[in-house]
Amino acid sequence: MSKRRVRNISGMGISKITLAHENQKLQRHQDLSHYKETFFQCGKCGTCRTVYKDANWSRVCPSGEFGKFEAYYLGGKNLLTWALSTDKLKWSENLAKIFYQCSVCMACVQQCQIPEIHTYAGEWLMAMREEAVKAGYGPMPEQTKYTDHIMTEKNPYMEKNESRLKWLPSHIKQSPEAKLAYFVGCTASYREQNIAIATAEILNSLGIEFKILEKEGCCGSPVYMTGQTEKAIELAEMNVESFKESGIEKIITSCAGCYRTLKETYPNKFNLDHGIEIRHLPEFIKRESKSRENIFTNEVNMKITYHDPCHLGRHMGMYNAPRDVLQSIPGIELVEMTRNRHNAWCCGSGGGVRSAFKDLSSFAAKERIEEAMETQAEAIVSSCPFCLNQFKSNIENDAIQTYDISELIRKAV
Ligand code: SF4
Ligand code: SF4
């Protein structure tokens, strides 16, 4: 360890972390064998179970806290990965379930102080899912069902592809020649349509020319995150073809999962270098507000707390833009939960958990909702349709309101 110069790694998204280790040859997005010398560096210290030196050492791992056994925490998963890769263990239904009963939220990875594990453990959590698929033990049956639907109808919600644009109201003005597209994503297209409408209205209100892609389909995130990389690449190729056909140069998305997938996964995992600038809505609005005066003209009097979506925060390192935008809206008071930014507790919807492990998913959501209520905020706000949908499904008796950031921006512009 003495020769290593390691940057302050806490709080950075996985895409932003680099090591200054002279001999560091590891790369992200590789298959399991690439990391085979790294699993054994895990000292089984248990540091990945709780927030490291912050937030009262609160717990971070929904999988471990729900599953109760070491196998469900990162330390246990490392040992199982090592055993499998050295042929001491074979795939079984139980082993696959352990790896799928995890939202791939990366909260554990953020806490581990071993640099190689901190940087790369998320990669082998994903690589193990790919291995499970190759061995015929993954994905879980519920995930196979939605994947089959995605491959034909381009959405996981058992809806028809032809009804994808049903949310689009007639008052929304699109510009067919625009170089900017709004990539809506499946959840905002079919379930949280208020987000799609709010985003399109914001763009109209700010006079920004945009269009919605007629051939938009699922970005592939639910397929990729469950280890089905080849199928996810098929979906990605269809989307990239439609980007090229429509001549767009820039995409705005209101979905954390689409953002991660289009910006990070397509070029760096799938080798689809589309060359298109990808912006998440709050990031885009923050830039716009710098070049214009008084972007927010209406007050939104509300005390809120912000939930970091895993795919936007830990996966992409974006923590400030949504907070900066929210705090720029007149009347908004932002209070933080105990676990925030890179230490945020996952809402429990990602990584295929919501479809295959409903009890775990609900357990995670309820813990986050309780944490939000402890702040005395009136509303829990996120910047991901899937998080919003998860909160709506798990908030009981209207105990707290919940919004997507687009809905608050819409009220303010
Ligand atoms: S993954 Fe890191 S924090 Fe967790 S047990 Fe292993 S060494 Fe400790
Ligand atoms: S990725 Fe999240 S759910 Fe999975 S082991 Fe790590 S903290 Fe637990």
Q: Pick from 64, 69, 68: which is nearest to 108 by CA?
A: 64
Ligand 1 proximity of 48 Cβ (cutoff 6 Å): yes
Are residues 283 and 149 part of one domain? yes
pLDDT band at 23 (very low <50, low <70, confident <90, very high): very low
In the predicted model, is pLDDT for residue 190 greater than 90? yes
- Which tops the pLDDT comparison, 338 or 18? 338
Are residues 277 and 301 part of one domain? no
Q: Which atom of ligand 2 lies nearest, measured to the CA of 104?
A: 1
Ligand 1 proximity of 12 Cβ (cutoff 6 Å): no
Overall average pLDDT of the 110-129 stretch: 95
pLDDT at 324: 97
Q: Distance between CA atoms of 277 and 256, rounded to whole angstroms?
A: 15
CA 339 to chain centre: 17
pLDDT at 181: 98
pLDDT at 294: 87
**DSSP track, 112-135:** --SHHHHHHHHHHHHHHHHHHHHT
In the predicted model, is pLDDT for residue 295 greater than 60? yes
Are residues 22 and 103 part of one domain? yes
pLDDT at 104: 98
Ligand nearest to the CA of 343: 2
pLDDT at 15: 41
Are residues 147 and 245 part of one domain? yes
Number of domains in the chain: 3
Distance from the alpha carbon of residue 91 to the mean position of ligand 1, in angstroms: 23
Are residues 243 and 325 part of one domain? no
In the predicted model, is pLDDT for residue 397 greater than 50? yes
Q: Give tens-digit pLDDT for 203-215.
A: 999 999 999 999 9
| Residue 278 in domain | yes
| Residue 3 in domain | no
| Residue 359 in domain | yes
pLDDT at 40: 87
Number of other residues whose CB lies within 10 A of the CB of residue 134: 15
In the predicted model, is pLDDT for residue 230 greater than 70? yes
Measured by CA distance, the residue closest to atom 1 of ligand 2 is: 104
| Residue 6 in domain | no
In the predicted model, is pLDDT for residue 14 greater than 60? no
In the predicted model, is pLDDT for residue 254 greater than 70? yes
User: Which of 74, 97, 110 has the most ligand 2 atoms within 8 A of CB, as the residue to mutate?
Assistant: 74
Q: Distance between CA atoms of 8 and 117, rounded to whole angstroms?
A: 14
pLDDT band at 5 (very low <50, low <70, confident <90, very high): very low
How much of the chain, in percent, has pLDDT values that exceed 70?
94
User: Which of 49, 103, 118 has the most ligand 2 atoms within 8 A of CB, as the residue to mutate?
Assistant: 103
Domain end call among 256, 288, 320: 288
Q: Distance between CA atoms of 217 and 184, rounded to whole angstroms?
A: 9
What phi and psi, each to the nearest 5 degrees, are found at residue 22?
-55, -40
8 Å CB contact between 137 and 95: yes
User: Which of 9, 39, 42, 118 has the most ligand 1 atoms within 8 A of CB, as the residue to mutate?
Assistant: 42
| Residue 19 in domain | yes
Sign of the CA dihedral 29, 34, 38, 39? Answer: positive
In whole numbers, what is the pLDDT of the chain averaged over residues? Answer: 94
pTM, full prediction = 0.94
Are residues 120 and 24 part of one domain? yes
Q: Give tens-digit pLDDT for 344-356.
A: 999 999 999 999 9
Q: Which atom of ligand 1 lies nearest, measured to the CA of 121?
A: 1
Name the least confident of 16-20, 181-185, 408-412.
16-20
Distance from the alpha carbon of residue 117 to the mean position of ligand 1, in angstroms: 8
| Residue 2 in domain | no
8 Å CB contact between 41 and 112: no
| Residue 207 in domain | yes
What phi and psi, each to the nearest 5 degrees, are found at residue 197?
-65, -45
Q: Exposed/middle/buried for 247, CB within 10 Å: 0-12, 13-18, 19+?
A: exposed
Q: Pick from 157, 104, 99, 123: which is nearest to 349 by CA?
A: 104
In the predicted model, is pLDDT for residue 4 greater than 60? no
Distance from the alpha carbon of residue 162 to the mean position of ligand 2, in angstroms: 36
Are residues 122 and 26 part of one domain? yes
Q: Each residue of 315-349: b (16+ CB within 10 Å) or e?
A: bbbbbebbbbbbeebeebebeebebbbbbbbbbbb
Are residues 159 and 264 part of one domain? yes
Q: Pick from 128, 148, 146: which is nearest to 138 by CA?
A: 128
Alpha helices in 264-314 (DSSP H): 266-268, 281-291
Overall average pLDDT of the 61-71 stretch: 97
Name the least confident of 229-233, 277-281, 289-293.
289-293
| Residue 8 in domain | no
In the predicted model, is pLDDT for residue 148 greater than 90? yes
Q: Distance between CA atoms of 343 and 360, rounded to whole angstroms?
A: 19
Q: Distance between CA atoms of 309 and 144, rounded to whole angstroms?
A: 24
- Which tops the pLDDT comparison, 10 or 269? 269
Domain end call among 72, 106, 134: 134
Overall average pLDDT of the 120-140 stretch: 97
CA atoms within 13 A on the CB side of 389: 18
Are residues 302 and 248 part of one domain? no
8 Å CB contact between 342 and 10: yes
Q: Which residue has the tokens 């720029």?
A: 328
Alpha helices in 206-261 (DSSP H): 221-224, 229-246, 256-260
In the predicted model, is pLDDT for residue 24 greater than 80? no
Distance from the alpha carbon of residue 38 to the mean position of ligand 2, in angstroms: 18
CA distances (Å), 106 to each of 83, 137, 175, 288, 317, in order?
21, 23, 39, 31, 12
Are residues 395 and 352 part of one domain? yes
For residue 241, what is the domain's CATH number?
3.40.50.1860
Measured by CA distance, the residue closest to atom 4 of ligand 2 is: 102
Ligand 1 proximity of 43 Cβ (cutoff 6 Å): yes
What phi and psi, each to the nearest 5 degrees, are found at residue 279?
-125, 140
Distance from the alpha carbon of residue 161 to the mean position of ligand 2, in angstroms: 33
Task: Give me the domain span that covers residue 263.
Answer: 143-288
